[in-house]
Amino acid sequence: MRVLVVTSLYPTAEHPDRGRFVADQVESLQRIDGLDVDVFRFEPGGASFVTAARELRRRHGRERYDVVHAHHGLGGWTARALGGGAPLVVTFHGTDLEHRVVGRMSQALAHVALPATVSANLARRRLPGAGSTRRVAVLPSGLDLDRFRAIPRAEARAALALDPAGRYLLFPADPARPEKRHDRAASVASQLDAELLTLGGVPPERVPLFINAASAVLVCSEREGFGLAALEALACEVPVLSTAVGIAPLALADIDGCLCAPFELAAWTALARIHLDAEDPRISGRARAALFERDRMACRVFHTYRELVDQ
């Protein structure tokens, strides 16, 4: 089976953190016997999806694919230009459905061969009729358990040149993204006289060090399509405090030391204080994270491809 992945969410030398989750899925798919995966990637921003459509036709217009899989709504519009009759899967990641302008364009793609979202929650919120009057697949990208694992806190802090006895919390996103609500995490850290680490501009290979260096990870988002940050922390066995967004209600349910609840400063501060005061707080989260391991999720994607081809 031949598959073409079309996306602007993909790492580059200049932006190694961009779309790492899509690259993880592609790498897992490429290891599946009988599956041949090509990737067409283009730079995001402005009308790049239009110029990318012309380049896509030039490069791949004469190729035959069994499935075309686009990531992000604008990637779906680029992929539509290819033609050729192959069924089109479009995975929506959240921002593409939530954005004031791009959201409408993404919604209009929901009548492709198969729209997909990275979580059932996102489908229910942004694709009316999902699961009843229209078929929508749920295709998360998955987690790399080799990359995300428990590292001794002292080792992680030494690698980052942090104070071995410091009080650190982690905000696992770029503070510049308003929907992630850095202000909430900053208020918790301020109440507890802790330093708030962030992941803005951090290379992907160093992210596990930041997670393991922190006493807790604060996911304060107003919304998440999937919410990989919570799973990454679970895989590292680091406590997570999260709003009830994306996969968090399922991922964090009944895990001692974790919280999934609306942001409320007193409650979040009380639990974060317990973790900061502990010598090396850890939680039993790796088994839960393993349910969303990237190869496992890639097999789900592969079976979806097969169903489309068989139809």
Q: What is the pLDDT of residue 129?
A: 66
Q: In angstroms, rounded to a whole number, what is the distance separating the alpha carbons of residues 151 and 122?
A: 32
Q: List the pLDDT tens digit at each of the 311 positions of the chain.
A: 999 999 999 999 888 889 999 999 999 999 999 999 999 999 998 789 899 999 999 999 999 999 999 999 889 999 998 988 899 999 999 888 877 777 777 777 777 778 999 988 888 888 876 655 678 899 998 999 999 999 999 999 999 999 999 999 999 999 999 999 999 999 999 999 999 999 988 999 999 999 999 999 999 999 998 999 999 999 999 999 999 999 999 999 999 999 999 999 999 999 999 999 998 899 999 999 999 999 999 999 999 999 999 98
Element holding 195 (H helix, E strand):
strand 195-198
Q: What is the pLDDT of residue 105?
A: 78
What count of residues does the chain have? 311
DSSP 175: T
The alpha carbon of residue 128 and the mean position of all alpha carbons in its chain are separated, in whole angstroms, by: 22
Both tokens of 15, joined, read 């932006």
The answer to whether the beta carbons of residues 32 and 302 sit under 8 Å apart is yes
Q: What is the pLDDT of residue 13?
A: 87
**Which region holds residue 193: left if phi is over 0, alpha if psi is between -120 and 50, else beta?**
left
Residue for token pair 């006289």: 193
CATH number for the region 2-142+293-310 comes to 3.40.50.2000
Q: What is the pLDDT of residue 279?
A: 87
Q: What is the pLDDT of residue 169?
A: 98
Using CA atoms of 175, 180, 184, 186 in order, give the dihedral in degrees to the nearest 10: -20
CATH number for the region 153-290 comes to 3.40.50.2000
Q: How would DSSP label each residue in 18-76?
A: TTHHHHHHHHHHHTSTT-EEEEEE---STTHHHHHHHHHHHHHTT---SEEEEESHHHH
Q: How far is CA 61 from CA 57, 245, 302, in A?
A: 4, 39, 23
Q: What is the pLDDT of residue 207?
A: 97
Which residue spans of the chain are classified as CATH 3.40.50.2000? 2-142+293-310, 153-290
Q: In angstroms, rounded to a whole number, what is the distance separating the alpha carbons of residues 233 and 210?
A: 10
Residue for token pair 């900053």: 186
* Rg of the chain (C-alpha set): 20
Q: What is the pLDDT of residue 219?
A: 98
Both tokens of 39, joined, read 């990737």
Q: How many CB atoms lie within 10 A of CB 239?
A: 27
Angle at 16 between CA 168 and CA 166, to 5 degrees: 10
Element holding 233 (H helix, E strand):
helix 228-235
